[in-house]
Chains A and B, each alone.
Chain A
Amino acid sequence: MSNVMIEMNNIHKKFGNNHVLKGVDLTVNEGETVALLGSSGSGKSTLLRCINLLETPDAGDVRINDYSFTASKINKHVKLEARRRTAMVFQNFGLFANKTALENVTEALITVRKKSKSEAIEIGRKYLDKVGLLEQANQYPSTLSGGQKQRVAISRALALDPKIILFDEPTSALDPELVGEVQRVIRKVAEEKVTMLIVTHEMDFARDVADKVAFMSEGQIIETATPSEFFTNPKNERTQKFLERYLQRFSYSI
Protein backbone atom coordinates (compact mmCIF):
# COMPACT_ATOMS: atom_id res chain seq x y z
CA MET A 1 0.00 0.00 0.00
CA SER A 2 1.47 3.29 -0.98
CA ASN A 3 1.80 6.39 1.09
CA VAL A 4 -1.44 8.34 1.72
CA MET A 5 -1.17 12.00 0.70
CA ILE A 6 -4.70 13.14 1.43
CA GLU A 7 -7.28 11.57 3.64
CA MET A 8 -10.51 13.40 4.35
CA ASN A 9 -13.16 12.02 6.66
CA ASN A 10 -16.73 13.19 6.93
CA ILE A 11 -16.10 16.79 5.82
CA HIS A 12 -18.98 19.21 6.23
CA LYS A 13 -19.21 22.80 5.06
CA LYS A 14 -22.11 25.23 5.17
CA PHE A 15 -22.37 28.71 3.69
CA GLY A 16 -25.24 30.14 5.71
CA ASN A 17 -28.15 27.80 5.04
CA ASN A 18 -26.48 26.25 2.04
CA HIS A 19 -25.08 22.88 3.07
CA VAL A 20 -22.38 22.49 0.40
CA LEU A 21 -20.41 19.52 1.71
CA LYS A 22 -22.41 16.81 3.45
CA GLY A 23 -19.89 14.40 4.84
CA VAL A 24 -17.23 13.88 2.18
CA ASP A 25 -14.64 11.09 2.38
CA LEU A 26 -11.70 11.14 0.01
CA THR A 27 -8.32 9.45 -0.15
CA VAL A 28 -5.50 10.31 -2.52
CA ASN A 29 -2.39 8.13 -2.56
CA GLU A 30 1.13 9.18 -3.36
CA GLY A 31 1.79 9.56 -7.07
CA GLU A 32 -1.88 9.39 -7.92
CA THR A 33 -3.79 11.80 -10.13
CA VAL A 34 -7.39 12.04 -9.02
CA ALA A 35 -9.98 13.86 -11.11
CA LEU A 36 -12.87 15.32 -9.17
CA LEU A 37 -15.94 15.54 -11.39
CA GLY A 38 -19.49 16.67 -10.86
CA SER A 39 -22.00 19.25 -12.03
CA SER A 40 -21.67 22.91 -11.10
CA GLY A 41 -22.53 23.61 -7.49
CA SER A 42 -21.88 20.05 -6.36
CA GLY A 43 -19.13 21.27 -4.02
CA LYS A 44 -15.98 20.24 -5.92
CA SER A 45 -14.11 23.52 -5.58
CA THR A 46 -15.21 23.94 -1.98
CA LEU A 47 -13.84 20.50 -1.15
CA LEU A 48 -10.52 21.41 -2.76
CA ARG A 49 -10.36 24.65 -0.79
CA CYS A 50 -11.08 22.78 2.42
CA ILE A 51 -7.76 20.97 1.99
CA ASN A 52 -5.53 24.06 1.98
CA LEU A 53 -8.03 25.84 4.21
CA LEU A 54 -8.89 28.74 1.96
CA GLU A 55 -12.27 27.60 3.23
CA THR A 56 -12.59 26.31 6.77
CA PRO A 57 -14.61 23.10 7.01
CA ASP A 58 -17.28 23.04 9.74
CA ALA A 59 -16.67 19.43 10.71
CA GLY A 60 -14.50 16.47 9.79
CA ASP A 61 -10.87 15.38 9.82
CA VAL A 62 -8.17 15.99 7.26
CA ARG A 63 -4.76 14.38 6.91
CA ILE A 64 -2.16 15.74 4.53
CA ASN A 65 0.50 13.03 4.55
CA ASP A 66 2.24 13.52 7.92
CA TYR A 67 -0.03 16.28 9.17
CA SER A 68 -3.54 15.79 10.57
CA PHE A 69 -6.07 18.28 11.81
CA THR A 70 -9.65 18.30 12.83
CA ALA A 71 -12.12 20.95 11.65
CA SER A 72 -12.98 22.22 15.10
CA LYS A 73 -9.34 23.00 15.93
CA ILE A 74 -8.33 25.05 12.90
CA ASN A 75 -6.35 28.18 13.68
CA LYS A 76 -3.72 30.32 11.94
CA HIS A 77 -0.99 27.82 12.67
CA VAL A 78 -2.96 24.87 11.25
CA LYS A 79 -3.71 26.90 8.12
CA LEU A 80 -0.04 27.64 7.56
CA GLU A 81 0.95 24.00 8.11
CA ALA A 82 -1.71 22.79 5.67
CA ARG A 83 -0.74 25.38 3.05
CA ARG A 84 2.94 24.61 3.35
CA ARG A 85 2.23 21.00 2.40
CA THR A 86 0.04 21.82 -0.58
CA ALA A 87 0.04 24.05 -3.63
CA MET A 88 -2.87 25.27 -5.66
CA VAL A 89 -3.44 26.13 -9.30
CA PHE A 90 -6.38 28.50 -9.62
CA GLN A 91 -8.94 28.89 -12.34
CA ASN A 92 -7.94 32.54 -12.72
CA PHE A 93 -4.22 31.77 -12.46
CA GLY A 94 -3.59 33.71 -9.25
CA LEU A 95 -0.21 34.93 -10.40
CA PHE A 96 1.23 37.82 -8.39
CA ALA A 97 0.67 40.79 -10.69
CA ASN A 98 3.58 42.77 -9.24
CA LYS A 99 6.10 39.97 -9.79
CA THR A 100 7.73 38.59 -12.92
CA ALA A 101 7.18 34.99 -13.98
CA LEU A 102 10.42 33.95 -12.27
CA GLU A 103 9.64 35.95 -9.13
CA ASN A 104 6.23 34.29 -9.00
CA VAL A 105 8.00 30.96 -8.70
CA THR A 106 10.75 32.09 -6.32
CA GLU A 107 8.61 34.27 -4.03
CA ALA A 108 7.43 31.54 -1.67
CA LEU A 109 10.72 29.66 -1.90
CA ILE A 110 12.39 32.72 -0.39
CA THR A 111 9.74 34.03 2.02
CA VAL A 112 8.20 30.73 3.11
CA ARG A 113 10.81 28.06 2.49
CA LYS A 114 13.66 30.38 3.54
CA LYS A 115 15.90 29.42 0.66
CA SER A 116 18.67 31.75 -0.43
CA LYS A 117 17.90 33.98 -3.37
CA SER A 118 20.38 32.26 -5.64
CA GLU A 119 19.10 28.80 -4.79
CA ALA A 120 15.51 29.97 -5.31
CA ILE A 121 16.38 31.41 -8.71
CA GLU A 122 18.05 28.17 -9.72
CA ILE A 123 14.96 26.18 -8.72
CA GLY A 124 12.70 28.75 -10.34
CA ARG A 125 14.52 28.59 -13.67
CA LYS A 126 14.47 24.81 -13.60
CA TYR A 127 10.70 24.68 -13.20
CA LEU A 128 10.01 27.46 -15.70
CA ASP A 129 12.08 25.46 -18.15
CA LYS A 130 9.99 22.42 -17.37
CA VAL A 131 6.81 24.19 -18.52
CA GLY A 132 8.66 25.70 -21.47
CA LEU A 133 8.69 29.29 -20.28
CA LEU A 134 12.30 29.99 -19.41
CA GLU A 135 12.43 32.66 -22.10
CA GLN A 136 9.54 34.50 -20.43
CA ALA A 137 11.19 34.42 -16.98
CA ASN A 138 11.44 38.20 -16.68
CA GLN A 139 8.04 39.05 -18.09
CA TYR A 140 5.19 40.28 -15.93
CA PRO A 141 1.95 38.27 -15.92
CA SER A 142 0.09 41.03 -17.75
CA THR A 143 2.28 40.37 -20.80
CA LEU A 144 1.65 36.60 -20.86
CA SER A 145 -1.16 34.71 -22.57
CA GLY A 146 -3.68 32.81 -20.45
CA GLY A 147 -2.01 29.51 -21.26
CA GLN A 148 1.42 30.87 -20.35
CA LYS A 149 0.07 32.29 -17.10
CA GLN A 150 -1.35 28.93 -16.12
CA ARG A 151 1.91 27.21 -16.98
CA VAL A 152 3.77 29.66 -14.73
CA ALA A 153 1.23 28.87 -12.00
CA ILE A 154 1.91 25.17 -12.46
CA SER A 155 5.67 25.67 -12.25
CA ARG A 156 5.16 27.77 -9.11
CA ALA A 157 3.23 24.89 -7.59
CA LEU A 158 5.81 22.30 -8.66
CA ALA A 159 8.73 24.34 -7.31
CA LEU A 160 7.25 24.16 -3.83
CA ASP A 161 7.58 20.37 -3.97
CA PRO A 162 4.24 19.94 -2.17
CA LYS A 163 2.65 16.71 -0.98
CA ILE A 164 -0.15 17.38 -3.42
CA ILE A 165 -1.07 19.96 -6.05
CA LEU A 166 -4.69 21.07 -6.06
CA PHE A 167 -6.03 22.15 -9.45
CA ASP A 168 -9.22 24.19 -9.39
CA GLU A 169 -10.60 24.05 -12.93
CA PRO A 170 -7.23 24.91 -14.44
CA THR A 171 -8.46 25.29 -18.02
CA SER A 172 -11.91 26.84 -17.50
CA ALA A 173 -10.75 30.44 -17.92
CA LEU A 174 -8.71 29.74 -21.04
CA ASP A 175 -9.48 30.40 -24.67
CA PRO A 176 -10.22 27.06 -26.35
CA GLU A 177 -7.03 27.09 -28.39
CA LEU A 178 -4.93 27.49 -25.24
CA VAL A 179 -6.48 24.59 -23.31
CA GLY A 180 -4.26 22.04 -25.01
CA GLU A 181 -0.89 23.47 -23.97
CA VAL A 182 -1.95 23.56 -20.30
CA GLN A 183 -3.38 20.05 -20.41
CA ARG A 184 -0.18 18.78 -21.98
CA VAL A 185 1.85 20.25 -19.11
CA ILE A 186 -0.47 18.69 -16.51
CA ARG A 187 -0.20 15.34 -18.27
CA LYS A 188 3.57 15.59 -18.23
CA VAL A 189 3.47 16.32 -14.50
CA ALA A 190 1.17 13.35 -13.95
CA GLU A 191 3.64 11.10 -15.74
CA GLU A 192 6.28 12.14 -13.22
CA LYS A 193 4.06 10.77 -10.46
CA VAL A 194 3.39 14.07 -8.77
CA THR A 195 0.30 13.67 -6.59
CA MET A 196 -2.56 15.75 -7.95
CA LEU A 197 -6.22 16.41 -7.29
CA ILE A 198 -7.89 18.05 -10.26
CA VAL A 199 -11.32 19.61 -10.35
CA THR A 200 -12.34 19.74 -13.98
CA HIS A 201 -15.21 19.82 -16.43
CA GLU A 202 -13.14 18.39 -19.25
CA MET A 203 -14.24 14.75 -19.36
CA ASP A 204 -11.79 13.65 -22.05
CA PHE A 205 -8.94 15.18 -20.15
CA ALA A 206 -10.03 13.51 -16.90
CA ARG A 207 -10.30 10.18 -18.60
CA ASP A 208 -6.91 10.59 -20.15
CA VAL A 209 -4.88 11.93 -17.24
CA ALA A 210 -6.46 10.51 -14.09
CA ASP A 211 -5.67 7.28 -12.26
CA LYS A 212 -8.90 7.61 -10.36
CA VAL A 213 -12.12 9.55 -10.84
CA ALA A 214 -14.25 10.75 -7.95
CA PHE A 215 -17.75 11.93 -8.78
CA MET A 216 -19.48 14.47 -6.60
CA SER A 217 -23.17 15.14 -6.42
CA GLU A 218 -25.11 17.24 -3.92
CA GLY A 219 -22.23 17.61 -1.52
CA GLN A 220 -21.07 14.00 -1.44
CA ILE A 221 -18.71 11.79 -3.36
CA ILE A 222 -21.06 9.14 -4.64
CA GLU A 223 -18.75 7.16 -6.85
CA THR A 224 -15.02 6.51 -7.08
CA ALA A 225 -13.59 4.37 -9.86
CA THR A 226 -10.85 4.05 -12.43
CA PRO A 227 -11.52 6.22 -15.49
CA SER A 228 -12.30 3.28 -17.76
CA GLU A 229 -14.73 1.81 -15.28
CA PHE A 230 -16.26 5.21 -14.54
CA PHE A 231 -16.88 6.23 -18.12
CA THR A 232 -17.96 2.86 -19.49
CA ASN A 233 -19.72 1.27 -16.57
CA PRO A 234 -20.89 3.82 -13.98
CA LYS A 235 -22.57 2.22 -10.98
CA ASN A 236 -24.56 5.06 -9.50
CA GLU A 237 -27.76 6.26 -11.13
CA ARG A 238 -26.82 9.93 -10.76
CA THR A 239 -23.44 9.27 -12.33
CA GLN A 240 -25.16 7.59 -15.27
CA LYS A 241 -27.46 10.60 -15.73
CA PHE A 242 -24.51 12.98 -15.58
CA LEU A 243 -22.56 11.05 -18.19
CA GLU A 244 -25.62 10.71 -20.41
CA ARG A 245 -26.06 14.45 -20.36
CA TYR A 246 -22.42 14.90 -21.17
CA LEU A 247 -22.52 12.42 -24.05
CA GLN A 248 -25.66 14.02 -25.41
CA ARG A 249 -23.95 17.37 -25.48
CA PHE A 250 -21.13 15.68 -27.29
CA SER A 251 -23.39 14.21 -29.96
CA TYR A 252 -25.05 17.60 -30.53
CA SER A 253 -21.76 19.17 -31.36
CA ILE A 254 -21.29 16.59 -34.13
Chain B
Amino acid sequence: MGKIFDFQFMIEIIPSILKGIPFTIMIAVVGFAVGIVIGLFGALFKIYKVPVLNKLTGLYVSFVRGTPLVVQILLIYYAFPILIKLINFKFGTKIDISWIPAVVFMFIAYSLNAGAYLTESIRASILAVDKGQMEAAESVGMTMWQAMIRIVLPQAAKISLPVFANFFIGLLKDTSLAFTAAVPEIMGQAKIQAGRASRFFEAYIDAALIYWGLCIILERIVAFIEKRNKESA
Protein backbone atom coordinates (compact mmCIF):
# COMPACT_ATOMS: atom_id res chain seq x y z
CA MET B 1 0.00 0.00 0.00
CA GLY B 2 0.99 3.58 0.22
CA LYS B 3 0.90 4.18 -3.51
CA ILE B 4 -1.78 6.59 -4.68
CA PHE B 5 -2.34 4.62 -7.85
CA ASP B 6 -1.00 1.09 -8.26
CA PHE B 7 -0.38 0.81 -11.97
CA GLN B 8 1.29 -2.58 -11.68
CA PHE B 9 -1.71 -4.00 -9.83
CA MET B 10 -3.99 -2.64 -12.50
CA ILE B 11 -2.06 -4.55 -15.18
CA GLU B 12 -1.71 -7.71 -13.09
CA ILE B 13 -5.40 -8.26 -12.56
CA ILE B 14 -6.40 -7.79 -16.19
CA PRO B 15 -6.24 -11.53 -17.04
CA SER B 16 -8.51 -12.34 -14.09
CA ILE B 17 -11.04 -9.73 -15.12
CA LEU B 18 -10.94 -10.95 -18.72
CA LYS B 19 -12.26 -14.27 -17.40
CA GLY B 20 -15.57 -12.51 -16.97
CA ILE B 21 -15.94 -11.89 -20.70
CA PRO B 22 -17.57 -15.25 -21.55
CA PHE B 23 -20.28 -14.60 -18.93
CA THR B 24 -20.81 -11.07 -20.18
CA ILE B 25 -21.12 -12.19 -23.79
CA MET B 26 -23.26 -15.21 -22.94
CA ILE B 27 -25.77 -13.15 -21.01
CA ALA B 28 -25.91 -10.52 -23.75
CA VAL B 29 -26.23 -13.03 -26.58
CA VAL B 30 -28.82 -15.26 -24.89
CA GLY B 31 -30.79 -12.24 -23.68
CA PHE B 32 -30.73 -10.72 -27.14
CA ALA B 33 -31.60 -13.93 -29.02
CA VAL B 34 -34.46 -14.93 -26.75
CA GLY B 35 -35.48 -11.26 -26.59
CA ILE B 36 -35.86 -11.17 -30.38
CA VAL B 37 -38.11 -14.23 -30.32
CA ILE B 38 -40.24 -12.76 -27.53
CA GLY B 39 -40.22 -9.38 -29.25
CA LEU B 40 -41.32 -10.87 -32.56
CA PHE B 41 -44.29 -12.61 -31.02
CA GLY B 42 -45.09 -9.59 -28.87
CA ALA B 43 -44.98 -7.34 -31.93
CA LEU B 44 -47.26 -9.66 -33.93
CA PHE B 45 -49.71 -9.95 -31.01
CA LYS B 46 -49.89 -6.18 -30.87
CA ILE B 47 -50.07 -5.52 -34.62
CA TYR B 48 -52.79 -8.12 -35.19
CA LYS B 49 -54.50 -7.23 -31.91
CA VAL B 50 -54.72 -10.88 -30.89
CA PRO B 51 -57.33 -11.06 -28.13
CA VAL B 52 -55.97 -11.50 -24.57
CA LEU B 53 -52.33 -11.90 -25.75
CA ASN B 54 -52.37 -8.32 -27.03
CA LYS B 55 -53.37 -7.05 -23.57
CA LEU B 56 -50.90 -9.31 -21.77
CA THR B 57 -48.10 -8.08 -24.02
CA GLY B 58 -49.04 -4.49 -23.23
CA LEU B 59 -48.92 -5.21 -19.51
CA TYR B 60 -45.57 -6.99 -19.79
CA VAL B 61 -43.97 -4.22 -21.83
CA SER B 62 -45.31 -1.58 -19.48
CA PHE B 63 -43.98 -3.39 -16.41
CA VAL B 64 -40.51 -4.03 -17.82
CA ARG B 65 -40.13 -0.53 -19.16
CA GLY B 66 -41.46 0.95 -15.94
CA THR B 67 -39.09 -0.82 -13.53
CA PRO B 68 -35.28 -0.63 -13.26
CA LEU B 69 -33.32 -3.58 -14.65
CA VAL B 70 -31.54 -4.11 -11.36
CA VAL B 71 -34.89 -4.52 -9.63
CA GLN B 72 -35.97 -7.05 -12.26
CA ILE B 73 -32.74 -8.97 -11.75
CA LEU B 74 -33.22 -9.12 -8.00
CA LEU B 75 -36.87 -10.09 -8.40
CA ILE B 76 -35.97 -13.04 -10.63
CA TYR B 77 -33.03 -13.94 -8.41
CA TYR B 78 -35.19 -14.12 -5.30
CA ALA B 79 -38.38 -15.34 -6.94
CA PHE B 80 -36.84 -18.55 -8.20
CA PRO B 81 -35.83 -20.11 -4.90
CA ILE B 82 -39.35 -19.38 -3.68
CA LEU B 83 -40.86 -20.89 -6.81
CA ILE B 84 -38.77 -24.02 -6.43
CA LYS B 85 -39.66 -24.33 -2.78
CA LEU B 86 -43.29 -24.13 -3.82
CA ILE B 87 -42.81 -26.82 -6.48
CA ASN B 88 -41.02 -29.06 -3.98
CA PHE B 89 -43.80 -28.54 -1.48
CA LYS B 90 -46.62 -29.14 -3.95
CA PHE B 91 -45.22 -32.10 -5.84
CA GLY B 92 -42.98 -33.61 -3.21
CA THR B 93 -39.92 -33.17 -5.45
CA LYS B 94 -36.48 -32.49 -4.03
CA ILE B 95 -35.01 -29.97 -6.43
CA ASP B 96 -32.04 -28.19 -4.90
CA ILE B 97 -31.86 -24.54 -5.88
CA SER B 98 -28.06 -24.65 -5.74
CA TRP B 99 -28.08 -26.99 -8.76
CA ILE B 100 -29.07 -24.10 -10.92
CA PRO B 101 -26.20 -21.68 -11.63
CA ALA B 102 -26.95 -18.02 -11.05
CA VAL B 103 -26.21 -17.25 -14.68
CA VAL B 104 -29.39 -19.12 -15.68
CA PHE B 105 -31.44 -16.64 -13.68
CA MET B 106 -29.64 -13.89 -15.54
CA PHE B 107 -30.52 -15.46 -18.87
CA ILE B 108 -34.17 -15.30 -17.85
CA ALA B 109 -33.97 -11.78 -16.46
CA TYR B 110 -32.15 -10.30 -19.47
CA SER B 111 -34.32 -12.19 -21.98
CA LEU B 112 -37.50 -10.85 -20.42
CA ASN B 113 -36.03 -7.38 -20.27
CA ALA B 114 -34.81 -7.41 -23.87
CA GLY B 115 -38.08 -8.99 -25.08
CA ALA B 116 -40.11 -6.05 -23.83
CA TYR B 117 -37.94 -3.38 -25.46
CA LEU B 118 -37.61 -5.39 -28.67
CA THR B 119 -41.39 -5.89 -28.84
CA GLU B 120 -41.72 -2.16 -29.33
CA SER B 121 -38.86 -1.77 -31.78
CA ILE B 122 -39.82 -4.80 -33.87
CA ARG B 123 -43.41 -3.59 -33.97
CA ALA B 124 -42.23 -0.22 -35.23
CA SER B 125 -40.04 -1.82 -37.91
CA ILE B 126 -42.81 -4.08 -39.18
CA LEU B 127 -45.15 -1.10 -39.40
CA ALA B 128 -42.45 0.84 -41.23
CA VAL B 129 -42.51 -1.67 -44.10
CA ASP B 130 -44.71 -0.35 -46.91
CA LYS B 131 -48.24 -1.72 -46.52
CA GLY B 132 -48.25 -2.46 -50.25
CA GLN B 133 -45.69 -5.22 -49.70
CA MET B 134 -48.15 -7.32 -47.71
CA GLU B 135 -50.90 -6.64 -50.24
CA ALA B 136 -48.68 -7.58 -53.15
CA ALA B 137 -47.70 -10.82 -51.42
CA GLU B 138 -51.33 -11.63 -50.71
CA SER B 139 -52.33 -10.77 -54.26
CA VAL B 140 -50.07 -13.52 -55.63
CA GLY B 141 -51.69 -16.02 -53.28
CA MET B 142 -49.25 -16.18 -50.38
CA THR B 143 -50.68 -16.85 -46.94
CA MET B 144 -50.23 -14.20 -44.28
CA TRP B 145 -47.43 -16.24 -42.69
CA GLN B 146 -45.60 -16.77 -45.97
CA ALA B 147 -45.88 -13.06 -46.68
CA MET B 148 -44.65 -12.17 -43.18
CA ILE B 149 -41.70 -14.54 -43.21
CA ARG B 150 -40.57 -14.13 -46.80
CA ILE B 151 -41.41 -10.52 -47.62
CA VAL B 152 -42.24 -8.31 -44.64
CA LEU B 153 -39.90 -9.54 -41.89
CA PRO B 154 -36.72 -9.50 -44.00
CA GLN B 155 -37.45 -5.87 -44.83
CA ALA B 156 -38.32 -5.09 -41.21
CA ALA B 157 -35.06 -6.72 -40.11
CA LYS B 158 -33.13 -4.45 -42.41
CA ILE B 159 -34.90 -1.40 -41.01
CA SER B 160 -34.23 -2.68 -37.49
CA LEU B 161 -30.55 -3.32 -37.90
CA PRO B 162 -29.22 0.00 -36.54
CA VAL B 163 -31.73 -0.15 -33.67
CA PHE B 164 -30.80 -3.75 -32.89
CA ALA B 165 -27.11 -2.89 -32.97
CA ASN B 166 -27.54 -0.03 -30.52
CA PHE B 167 -29.71 -2.18 -28.34
CA PHE B 168 -27.20 -5.00 -28.25
CA ILE B 169 -24.39 -2.63 -27.29
CA GLY B 170 -26.59 -1.24 -24.52
CA LEU B 171 -27.44 -4.77 -23.41
CA LEU B 172 -23.79 -5.75 -23.29
CA LYS B 173 -23.09 -2.89 -20.93
CA ASP B 174 -26.17 -3.61 -18.88
CA THR B 175 -24.86 -7.10 -18.17
CA SER B 176 -22.60 -5.36 -15.65
CA LEU B 177 -25.61 -5.43 -13.32
CA ALA B 178 -25.50 -9.22 -13.23
CA PHE B 179 -22.85 -9.06 -10.52
CA THR B 180 -25.64 -8.11 -8.12
CA ALA B 181 -26.77 -11.71 -8.54
CA ALA B 182 -23.28 -13.05 -7.92
CA VAL B 183 -22.49 -13.82 -11.56
CA PRO B 184 -18.73 -13.56 -12.20
CA GLU B 185 -18.92 -11.49 -15.38
CA ILE B 186 -16.51 -8.62 -16.08
CA MET B 187 -17.84 -6.39 -13.32
CA GLY B 188 -18.11 -9.28 -10.87
CA GLN B 189 -14.52 -10.29 -11.54
CA ALA B 190 -13.37 -6.69 -11.17
CA LYS B 191 -15.07 -6.50 -7.80
CA ILE B 192 -13.48 -9.75 -6.64
CA GLN B 193 -9.99 -8.60 -7.70
CA ALA B 194 -10.50 -5.15 -6.24
CA GLY B 195 -11.58 -6.63 -2.94
CA ARG B 196 -8.37 -8.63 -2.60
CA ALA B 197 -6.21 -5.50 -2.40
CA SER B 198 -8.82 -2.88 -1.67
CA ARG B 199 -7.83 -1.21 -4.93
CA PHE B 200 -11.22 -0.50 -6.45
CA PHE B 201 -10.31 2.36 -8.74
CA GLU B 202 -7.68 0.33 -10.60
CA ALA B 203 -10.02 -2.61 -11.06
CA TYR B 204 -12.86 -0.47 -12.34
CA ILE B 205 -10.57 1.26 -14.82
CA ASP B 206 -9.78 -2.20 -16.18
CA ALA B 207 -13.45 -3.02 -16.36
CA ALA B 208 -14.21 0.23 -18.16
CA LEU B 209 -11.46 -0.37 -20.72
CA ILE B 210 -12.64 -3.94 -21.37
CA TYR B 211 -16.25 -2.85 -21.94
CA TRP B 212 -15.06 -0.06 -24.17
CA GLY B 213 -12.93 -2.45 -26.21
CA LEU B 214 -15.82 -4.89 -26.62
CA CYS B 215 -18.11 -2.12 -27.79
CA ILE B 216 -15.59 -0.85 -30.31
CA ILE B 217 -15.29 -4.34 -31.78
CA LEU B 218 -19.08 -4.59 -31.95
CA GLU B 219 -19.42 -1.24 -33.66
CA ARG B 220 -16.93 -2.37 -36.29
CA ILE B 221 -18.91 -5.55 -36.92
CA VAL B 222 -22.17 -3.61 -37.23
CA ALA B 223 -20.62 -1.09 -39.62
CA PHE B 224 -19.41 -3.98 -41.77
CA ILE B 225 -22.84 -5.66 -41.86
CA GLU B 226 -24.56 -2.37 -42.69
CA LYS B 227 -22.17 -1.69 -45.50
CA ARG B 228 -22.71 -5.15 -46.98
CA ASN B 229 -26.47 -4.72 -46.64
CA LYS B 230 -26.43 -1.44 -48.51
CA GLU B 231 -24.55 -3.06 -51.36
CA SER B 232 -27.05 -5.92 -51.67
CA ALA B 233 -29.93 -3.58 -52.36
Contacts and interface: CB of A to CB of B under 8 A. Distances in A.
A74 interface: no
Interface in A197-241: none
A87 B141 CA distance: 8
Contacts of B141: 80, 83-84, 108, 112-113, 160
Given A97-B130, A107-B150, A112 B140 contact: yes
Contacts of A86: 139
A75 interface: no
A22 to B, nearest CB: 25
B185 to A, nearest CB: 37
Contacts of A83: 138-141
A54 B233 contact: no
B85 interface: no
B68 interface: no
Interface string B118-152: 00000000000010110111111111001000110
A69 interface: no
Given A96-B133, A97-B130, A111 B150 contact: yes
B154 A54 contact: no
A152 B207 CA distance: 55
A87 B140 contact: yes
A206 to B, nearest CB: 22
A97 B139 CA distance: 15
Interface residues of B, number: 20
Contacts of B150: 107, 111
Interface string A79-98: 11001101110101011111
A94 B138 contact: no
Contacts of B199: none
Contact of A108 (B132, B142, B155): B142
B139 A95 contact: no
Contacts of A90: 132, 135-136, 139
A140 interface: yes
A108 B233 contact: no
A215 to B, nearest CB: 25
Contacts of A88: 136, 139
A26 to B, nearest CB: 19
Nearest to A157: B140
Nearest to A156: B140
Interface of B: 130, 132-133, 135-143, 146, 150-151, 154-155, 158, 232-233
The 9 closest A-B pairs by CB, nearest first: A94-B136, A108-B140, A84-B141, A112-B141, A88-B139, A83-B141, A98-B154, A140-B233, A94-B132
